[in-house]
Homo-oligomer: A and B are copies of this chain.
Amino acid sequence: MSRDLVVALSGGIGGAKLALGLSRIVKPDHLIVVANVGDDFEHLGLHISPDADTLMYTLAGLDNTTLGWGRRDETWSFVETLAALGGEDWFRLGDRDLAVHVERTRRLHAGETLSAIAADFCRRLGVGPRIIPATDDRLRTRLRTEEGWLDFQDYFVRLQCRPVVRELAFAGAEDARPHPRLLAAFGDEHLRAVVICPSNPFISVEPILAVSGMRQALSACAAPIVAVSPIIGGRAVKGPTAKMMAELGMAPSAAAVAKRYGGLLDGYVMDFADAAEAAQVAAKVTLASTLMTNLEDREQLARVVLRAADALAPSKRGRDLVA
């Protein structure tokens, strides 16, 4: 039996790099990328889905490689004018990016789901793999900091991750249901691997796992679950992962991220730079070069991850048969 379905859990920028690598070696209709929705927020009356859009732009080849975020060939007339009108301009909305938010908001108000809209946008922009928001229900990451509870984008963009984080919560998670296609995928006999992309565990991956029933469905999954460390040599490639780990009382290390995922992981891909920590990881470790600076890196790391999963498959499925 051919096991060819791959599901990748991803946040924004870092996860999207590996998702792009996967999209180059997995057939489009065999790849599902699950987008974190904990970053979603309402701004200026618009529903903004930063992670799903970053994934869409990246897989469509429309990502802005100069800025490192947002959309290619972007213009900024809207936000410039908004500032002149006294509007809130702390969240930099590009003119092209804005079209996605305005049209998504219009369609949400007309009764469509987040996932149906994402699927249609992807189709129109020529994205082959399916990008599915973890849930069509409302789920929002909130952070308890030394300044009190903050909404995610307040913390992340407006305050530029400066506040010290003490606790995270995913408002709405208990009432949120996973997208049915995800539950089907996790139980699919054709599932080859679940990949946890090198995203921030606290604000990108855990809001996905927090969706009611998601963690259980993953735990019951017969295919190997392999995560890629977002930490290389004790530092995050991008973003506040290392800072948050320290604030939450963890060593900012690749091994600590694996420990955070706990028994969920069958395999863990970490950088050669962190080889000394391999013994601390309960899952089967694969050492690799995990820094993705170009397209070849992305594709190469994707191959490593799937190879690691394939190597784990017989023992995991065997274990399941015994159990």
**A281 contacts partner chain B, Cβ-Cβ < 8 Å:** no
Bound complex: CA A87 to CA B94 (Å): 17
Chain A residue total in the interface (Cβ 8 A): 31
Q: Known contacts A95-B77, A96-B77, A98-B98; is A124 also within 8 Å of B84 by CB?
A: yes
- Stretch in A6-14, A101-109, A227-235, A296-304 with 4+ CB within 8 Å of B: A101-109
Task: Tell whether, in the assembled complex, residue B45 and residue A106 are in contact, meaning their CB atoms are under 8 Å apart.
Answer: yes
Task: Tell whether, in the assembled complex, residue A75 and residue B95 are in contact, meaning their CB atoms are under 8 Å apart.
Answer: yes
Min CB distance A118 to B, Å, is: 11
25 contacts between A and B (CB under 8 A): A45-B45, A45-B109, A46-B102, A74-B77, A75-B95, A77-B95, A77-B99, A78-B96, A78-B102, A79-B99, A80-B96, A80-B99, A81-B95, A81-B96, A81-B98, A81-B99, A82-B102, A82-B103, A84-B125, A85-B99, A86-B103, A86-B120, A87-B106, A95-B98, A102-B102
Task: Tell whether, in the assembled complex, residue B85 and residue A121 are in contact, meaning their CB atoms are under 8 Å apart.
Answer: yes
**A44 contacts partner chain B, Cβ-Cβ < 8 Å:** yes
Per-residue CB contact flags for chain A residues 239-261 toward chain B (1 = under 8 Å, else 0) read: 00000000000000000000000
- Find chain B residues with CB under 8 A from A77 CB: 73-75, 77, 94-96, 99
Contacting residues of chain A (51-107) with chain B, CB-CB under 8 angstroms: 73-75, 77-82, 84-87, 94-96, 98-100, 102-103, 105-106
What number of copies of this chain does the assembly contain? 2
- Find chain B residues with CB under 8 A from A109 CB: 45
Bound complex: CA A288 to CA B77 (Å): 41
Closest chain B residue, CB of each to CB of A87: B103
